[in-house]
Structure 1
Amino acid sequence: MAINLQKGQKISLSKESGGALSKIVMGLGWDAKKVPVSMLKGMFGGGKSDAIDLDASCVLFDDQNKVVDTIYFGQLKSRDGSIVHTGDNRTGAGDGDDEQIKVDLDKVPANVKSLVFTVNSFSGQTFDEVDNAYCRIIDSSNNAEIARYTLSSQGSHTAQIMTKLYRHNGEWKMHAIGENGTGRTIEALLPQIIIHL
């Protein structure tokens, strides 16, 4: 049974999954908010586009909070091979996860203390135009969902610092951060992430 996390909540992944986890998937999903279009505007093409290009990223930090590596649509695999982004979804259309980042926890280098997962609006729309944004952790061995964090806040921000996986006393924990940010790219969001490490 997956846990629905609240903003700021922290959990142990091994306790929630019932054992040591080695391979996980961070799934991120969202929908474009349905905007009613008047019949007249619809006839003359005046409605809003329902495609929103959100980009999921994962930033690796060491214990000095220095960036070790960044996985995003421009670099789909970490240099050490432990983290793989499955590819860019440019619309948010369809059911289920829109983007996934696979993590082999056993292969994450020892100098990496935390993995921060974010979402940026590359197309520039604000989260006022986004519905049902979430991130979830899945156990790759059995495809079971361990934990889910659903965003409850919409607003004029263009990015979200979703969650952090971090090492603590020899185990991996998850912290639902849920902080608003600004920036169309992960580079623009980095200074805001460091505040929450």
Structure 2
Amino acid sequence: MAINLQKGQKIDLRKSSGEALTNFCVGVNWGAIETTKPGLFGIGSKKVIEDVDLDLSCIMLDQNGELVDWIYSPEYNAWLSQNKFPLGKLTSNDGGLRHSGDDRQGDVGGDDGLDNEIITVDLNRVSNNVDKIFFFLNIYLNQGQNFDFSQIPFAKIRMYEGTPTRVNSVFSNYDIVTDSSYRGKGALILGKLYRRNGEWKFDAIGDPTDDKLFIQTIQKITQNYK
């Protein structure tokens, strides 16, 4: 049975059989904002779909809390280069974490049962100098947009065994939009994988922030969550 995570909860990465969970996906599933507005001259109605662009990212720190690697969307590389920030990439240097790519819309017409953005994790391939892996989520607002987590019809995070296109067994999940503390917020520090006594564990941090850019969230993590 999947674990329904609570903010601040710490869990061992072990299956019900007692076997260590080393290969899994961290996925985020969300819906586009769909509204109904009056038609032309007030006749009838029409459905209006507003794309919702959530960005799932992660960074890797060593035992001293120093940044050693990262995964975030390369879609922003032109801006990152201009501002002298490290460029985005979808695969960690050791190949232990892989991102499925940027989804800029969300599900239309209801939940399709699959996650929109997924980071696949193979802990056996993660470099020995990586001590913590932080996962975080940011809403990218296109021009003219102004919304937060509370306005998204659904947004869920889960850890599961499988692939980006197939869910075999859900290990844990967390529902974002039902948490009132995320109202008015557009960024979320989801949680961290960390080493303890030779084993990997998971801490469901669940802290919302007011960050407008994912670079701000990275700075917040490296300064306050070591």
Which residue does 2:160 correspond to in 1? 138
| d(CA) in 2 for partners of 1:191, 1:17 | 38
Which residue does 1:150 correspond to in 2? 175
SS of structure 2 residue aligned to 1:190: helix
- Which range is displaced more, 183-192 or 81-90? 183-192
SS of structure 2 residue aligned to 1:102: strand
1:167 shift after superposition: 1.1
Q: Do 1:135 and 1:150's aligned partners in 2 also have CA atoms closer than 8 Å?
A: yes
Which residue does 2:52 correspond to in 1? 52
Q: Which amino acid aligns with 1:158?
A: G
Which residue does 2:19 correspond to in 1? 19
Give the number of aligned pairs.
197
Q: Does 1:80 align with 2:94?
A: yes
- Which range is displaced more, 149-158 or 86-95? 149-158
Q: Does 1:123 align with 2:151?
A: no
1:21 shift after superposition: 2.2
Q: Superposed, which structure 2 residues align to 1:62-101 within 5 Å?
A: 62-74=62-74, 75-93=89-107, 95=112, 96-101=114-119
- In the alignment, which of 109, 128, 131 is matched to residue 113 of structure 1? 131
1:160 shift after superposition: 0.9
1:184 shift after superposition: 4.2
Q: Percent identity among equivalent residues?
A: 38
Q: Do 2:185 and 2:210's aligned partners in 1 also have CA atoms closer than 8 Å?
A: yes
Q: Which runs of 5+ in 1 are unaligned?
A: none
Quick one: structure 1 residues 34 and 196, their matched pair in 2 at CA, closer, same or farther if it must change by over 3 Å? Answer: farther
Quick one: structure 1 residues 188 and 139, their matched pair in 2 at CA, closer, same or farther if it must change by over 3 Å? Answer: same
Q: Do 2:15 and 2:21's aligned partners in 1 also have CA atoms closer than 8 Å?
A: no
Provide TM-score, normalisation by structure 2: 0.76
Quick one: structure 1 residues 82 and 35, their matched pair in 2 at CA, closer, same or farther if it must change by over 3 Å? Answer: same
Q: Which runs of 5+ in 2 are unaligned?
A: 75-88
Quick one: structure 1 residues 158 and 17, their matched pair in 2 at CA, closer, same or farther if it must change by over 3 Å? Answer: farther
Provide TM-score, normalisation by structure 1: 0.87
Q: Do 2:33 and 2:51's aligned partners in 1 also have CA atoms closer than 8 Å?
A: no
Quick one: structure 1 residues 123 and 36, their matched pair in 2 at CA, closer, same or farther if it must change by over 3 Å? Answer: same
Quick one: structure 1 residues 76 and 41, their matched pair in 2 at CA, closer, same or farther if it must change by over 3 Å? Answer: farther
SS of structure 1 residue aligned to 2:14: helix
Q: Which amino acid aligns with 1:137?
A: M
| d(CA) in 2 for partners of 1:193, 1:158 | 16
Q: Do 2:10 and 2:202's aligned partners in 1 also have CA atoms closer than 8 Å?
A: yes
- Which range is displaced more, 31-40 or 155-164? 31-40
Q: Aligned-pair RMSD on alpha carbons?
A: 2.7
Quick one: structure 1 residues 155 and 62, their matched pair in 2 at CA, closer, same or farther if it must change by over 3 Å? Answer: same
Quick one: structure 1 residues 109 and 83, their matched pair in 2 at CA, closer, same or farther if it must change by over 3 Å? Answer: same
Q: Do 1:16 and 1:146's aligned partners in 2 also have CA atoms closer than 8 Å?
A: no
